[in-house]
Amino acid sequence: MDRNKDIILVTGATGNQGGAIARQLLADGYQVRAMSRDPQGDKAKALAALGAQVIKGELDDPQSLERALFGAWGAYAVQSNLEAGVAREEEQGMRFAEIARKTGIRHFVYSSVGSADRSTGIPHFDNKWRVEGKIRSLAFPSYTILRPVFFMENFLSPWFKPGIMEGKLRLALAPETRLQMIALEDIGKFGALAFQQHERMNGVEVDIAGDERTMPETADIIGKAMDKKVVFERTSLEEVRKASGDFAAMYEWFDRVGYHVDIGALQKTYGVKLLTLTEWAGKILWR
């Protein structure tokens, strides 16, 4: 590809993963077309200021997807089950892949989830595995599937941060469970790598993680970054189940099986320096 003229469309460009990918590609000098439901929003304007072409697109609107994909060389696809629900996320993922193939995308990169290939029984993991199957069946000229694990940025979400600010990291995990995690910044690095080295990355399906910690270790690391005592408090799995059977199944799987990335081998193979939880937490303005 020619980074000076070939366009890469990034879906969810004003969200977490898509935003990390778009910013990394722009920093590396690529031509980025950022798809957003709100091109006039602050996040979209910030990407435009960095050099992105911002275009309106809706994952449930096939015509808008065709317009967004038209003339692009590559595409980065991410959908959110939190926004769409499990069934609709799957529909969106398959629809986007089909339209990308029809419009002539040369290199397709899909953001799945760590261990999607392991029959976890977790609804929002298994649906991504089915989207992966659709992508393989479409026979793109070139494709890459990235499978990130638990996001470090989840600790900044409304689920966890309020408790952290009170000195409690609350999760429905056993204290001895080691949870693999990754920073969004590093997902951005791998997403950019998938386009930069598209010939090498063709057909690659890779799980990506940057660190592995128990929740008591995580609480201690975050507390030190905040200069405050933070302790882990195990919450009830049944309370999680009342809110979401999907997420309850995920926490049960974390305790029973868990992600399985060889982080050292991953860094050596791809030459990407991944952030540890300590490094990530030290970058956050917690207060």
**pLDDT confidence of residue 130:** 98
State mean pLDDT over 125-154: 98
225 inside domain: no
63 inside domain: yes
State mean pLDDT over 77-83: 89
Greatest C-alpha distance within the chain: 54
280 inside domain: no
**pLDDT confidence of residue 287:** 79
* pLDDT of 84 strictly over 80: no
248 inside domain: no
**pLDDT confidence of residue 250:** 98
**pLDDT confidence of residue 81:** 84
**pLDDT confidence of residue 126:** 97
Query: For the chain, how big is the Rg over CA atoms in Å?
Result: 19
pLDDT tens for each residue of 9-48: 999 999 999 999 999 999 999 999 999 999 999 999 999 9
How many separate helices (H) and strands (E) can be counted in the chain? 14, 12
Q: Within a 10 A sphere around the Cβ of 227, how many other Cβ atoms?
A: 8
Query: CATH number, domain at 88?
Result: 3.40.50.720
Count of CA atoms in the C-beta half-sphere (13 A) of 284: 25
Output the average pLDDT for the chain: 96
CA distance 198 to 194: 5
45 inside domain: yes
CA distance 186 to 180: 14
100 inside domain: yes
CA distance 247 to 198: 34
Count of domains for the chain: 1
The helix-helix angle for 123-137 and 245-256 (nearest 10°) equals: 90
* pLDDT of 117 strictly over 90: yes
154 inside domain: no
pLDDT tens for each residue of 143-194: 999 999 999 999 999 999 999 999 999 999 999 999 999 999 999 999 999 9
pLDDT tens for each residue of 239-284: 999 999 999 999 999 999 999 999 999 999 999 999 999 999 999 9
State mean pLDDT over 188-203: 97
Q: φ, ψ for residue 2 (rounded to 5)?
A: -110, 105
Q: Do 221 and 212 form a contact (C-beta atoms < 8 A)?
A: no
Judge if pTM exceeds 0.75: yes
**pLDDT confidence of residue 13:** 94
**pLDDT confidence of residue 277:** 98
The edge-to-edge listing of strands for the beta sheet with 53-56 is 53-56, 31-36, 7-10, 74-77, 107-111, 142-148, 204-208
| Percentage with pLDDT > 90 across the chain | 95
Which residue intervals of the chain are DSSP H helices? Answer: 16-27, 42-49, 62-69, 81-84, 86-102, 123-137, 161-165, 184-196, 198-201, 215-226, 237-243, 245-256, 263-270, 277-283
240 inside domain: no
Supply the range of the domain harboring residue 197. Answer: 7-149+183-209+261-274
State mean pLDDT over 196-201: 97
